[in-house]
Amino acid sequence: MAVDSAISSPLGPPACKKDAKALQFIEEMTRNADAVQERILAEILSRNAETEYLKRFKLNGATDRKIFKSHIPMVTYEDLQPEIQRIANGDRSPILSAHPISEFLTSSGTSAGERKLMPTIQEELDRRQLLYSLLMPVMNLYVPGLDKGKGLYFLFVKSETRTPSGLLARPVLTSYYKSEHFKTRPYDPYNVYTSPDEAILCADSFQSMYTQMLCGLIERKQVLRLGAVFASGLLRAIRFLQLNWNQLAHDIRTGTLSPKITEPAIKDRMVPILKPNPQLADFITRKCSEDNWEGILTKIWPNTKYLDVIVTGAMAQYIPTLDYYSGGLPLACTMYASSECYFGLNLNPMSKPSEVSYTIMPNMAYFEFLPHEPNANRSSTRDLPLKLVDLVDVEVGKEYELVITTYAGLCRYRVGDILRVTGFHNSAPQFHFVRRKNVLLSIDSDKTDEAELQKAMENASQLLKEFNTSVVEYTSYADTKTIPGHYVIYWELLVKDPDNSPSEEVLNRCCLEMEQSLNSVYRQGRVADNSIGPLEIRVVKNGTFEELMDYAISRGASINQYKVPRCVNFTPIMELLDSRVVSAHFSPSLPHWTPQRRR
Ligand code: AMP
Query: Closest residue (by CA) to atom 19 of ligand 1?
Result: 336
Task: Write down the pLDDT at residue 1.
Answer: 38
CA of 551 from ligand 1 middle (Å) equals 34
Q: Which atom of ligand 1 is nearest to the CA of 415?
A: 10
Task: Write down the pLDDT at residue 561.
Answer: 87
CA of 229 from ligand 1 middle (Å) equals 10
Nearest alpha-carbon partner for 448 in 488, 392, 391, 481: 488
- DSSP secondary structure of 51-95: SHHHHHTT-TT--SHHHHHHHSPPB-HHHHHHHHHHHHTT--S-S
Q: Which residues contact 139 (CB under 8 A, 6 or more apart)?
A: 146, 332, 334, 349
Neighbours of 560 (CB within 10 A): 5
CA of 278 from ligand 1 middle (Å) equals 42
3-state secondary structure of 174: helix
CB burial class (10 A; 0-12, 13-18, 19+) of residue 28? middle
Which parts of 391-517 are beta strand (E)?
A: 399-405, 413-425, 428-436, 469-479, 486-495
Indicate whether this model's pTM tops 0.75.
Answer: yes
Q: Which of 111, 308, 312, 338 to mutate to test the pocket of ligand 1 (most atoms within 8 A of CB)?
A: 338
Neighbours of 384 (CB within 10 A): 9
CA of 439 from ligand 1 middle (Å) equals 12
- DSSP element (H, E) containing 12: none
Task: Tell me the pLDDT of the chain (599 aa) as tens digits.
Answer: 344 433 345 787 999 999 999 999 999 999 999 999 999 999 999 999 999 999 999 999 999 999 999 999 999 999 999 999 999 999 999 999 999 999 999 999 999 999 999 999 999 999 999 999 999 999 999 999 999 999 999 999 998 999 999 999 999 999 999 999 999 999 999 999 999 999 999 999 999 999 999 999 999 999 999 999 999 999 999 999 999 999 999 999 999 999 999 999 999 999 999 999 999 999 999 999 999 999 999 999 999 999 999 999 999 999 999 999 999 999 999 999 999 999 999 999 999 999 999 999 999 999 999 999 866 554 444 445 579 999 999 999 999 999 999 999 999 999 999 999 999 999 999 999 999 999 999 999 999 999 999 999 999 999 999 999 999 999 999 999 889 999 999 999 999 999 999 999 999 999 999 999 999 999 999 999 999 999 999 999 999 999 999 999 999 888 888 999 999 999 999 999 999 999 999 999 999 999 988 75
Query: Closest residue (by CA) to atom 18 of ligand 1?
Result: 336
> Residues 430, 359: contact at Cβ < 8 Å?
yes
Q: Which atom of ligand 1 is nearest to the CA of 358?
A: 19
Nearest alpha-carbon partner for 39 in 71, 63, 69, 60: 63
Nearest alpha-carbon partner for 339 in 84, 73, 20, 61: 84
CA of 338 from ligand 1 middle (Å) equals 5
Task: Write down the pLDDT at residue 385.
Answer: 59
How far apart CA 234 and CA 322 sit, in angstroms, is: 8
Q: Which of 124, 310, 443 to mutate to test the pocket of ligand 1 (most atoms within 8 A of CB)?
A: 310
Backbone angles phi, psi at 20, to 5 degrees: -60, -40
CA of 106 from ligand 1 middle (Å) equals 13
Query: Closest residue (by CA) to atom 20 of ligand 1?
Result: 312
Q: Which atom of ligand 1 is nearest to the CA of 108?
A: 3
> Residues 372, 399: contact at Cβ < 8 Å?
yes
> Residues 181, 175: contact at Cβ < 8 Å?
no
Q: Which of 334, 433, 438 to mutate to test the pocket of ligand 1 (most atoms within 8 A of CB)?
A: 433
CA of 392 from ligand 1 middle (Å) equals 22
How far apart CA 233 and CA 444 sit, in angstroms, is: 8
Query: Closest residue (by CA) to atom 23 of ligand 1?
Result: 336
Q: Which residues contact 13 (CB under 8 A, 6 or more apart)?
A: 2, 3, 4, 5, 141
CA of 460 from ligand 1 middle (Å) equals 30
Q: Which of 504-527 are b and which e, b meaning 16 or more Cβ less than 10 Å from the residue's Cβ? A: eebbbbbbbbbbbbbbbbbbbbbb
CA of 332 from ligand 1 middle (Å) equals 15
Protein residues with CB under 6 Å of any ligand 1 atom? 107-109, 172, 310, 312-313, 333, 336-339, 415, 417, 433, 436, 445
Task: Write down the pLDDT at residue 5.
Answer: 39
- DSSP element (H, E) containing 159: none
Task: Write down the pLDDT at residue 519.
Answer: 97
Q: Which atom of ligand 1 is nearest to the CA of 333?
A: 19
CA of 422 from ligand 1 middle (Å) equals 18
> Residues 71, 411: contact at Cβ < 8 Å?
no
CA of 70 from ligand 1 middle (Å) equals 29
Q: Which atom of ligand 1 is nearest to the CA of 402?
A: 10
CA of 399 from ligand 1 middle (Å) equals 17
How far apart CA 261 and CA 365 sit, in angstroms, is: 42
Nearest alpha-carbon partner for 543 in 580, 499, 594: 580
Residue 444 DSSP one-character state: S
Q: Which atom of ligand 1 is nearest to the CA of 115?
A: 3
Backbone angles phi, psi at 349, to 5 degrees: -65, -15
Query: Closest residue (by CA) to atom 9 of ligand 1?
Result: 338
CA of 337 from ligand 1 middle (Å) equals 6
Query: Closest residue (by CA) to atom 17 of ligand 1?
Result: 336
Query: Closest residue (by CA) to atom 5 of ligand 1?
Result: 338
Query: Closest residue (by CA) to atom 16 of ligand 1?
Result: 336
Task: Write down the pLDDT at residue 10.
Answer: 74
How far apart CA 72 and CA 65 sit, in angstroms, is: 10
CA of 192 from ligand 1 middle (Å) equals 25
Q: Which residues contact 375 (CB under 8 A, 6 or more apart)?
A: none
Q: Which atom of ligand 1 is nearest to the CA of 172?
A: 4
Q: Which of 417, 443, 531 to mutate to test the pocket of ligand 1 (most atoms within 8 A of CB)?
A: 417
CA of 108 from ligand 1 middle (Å) equals 9
Strands of 161-162's sheet, edge to edge?
A: 114-121, 101-111, 168-170, 161-162
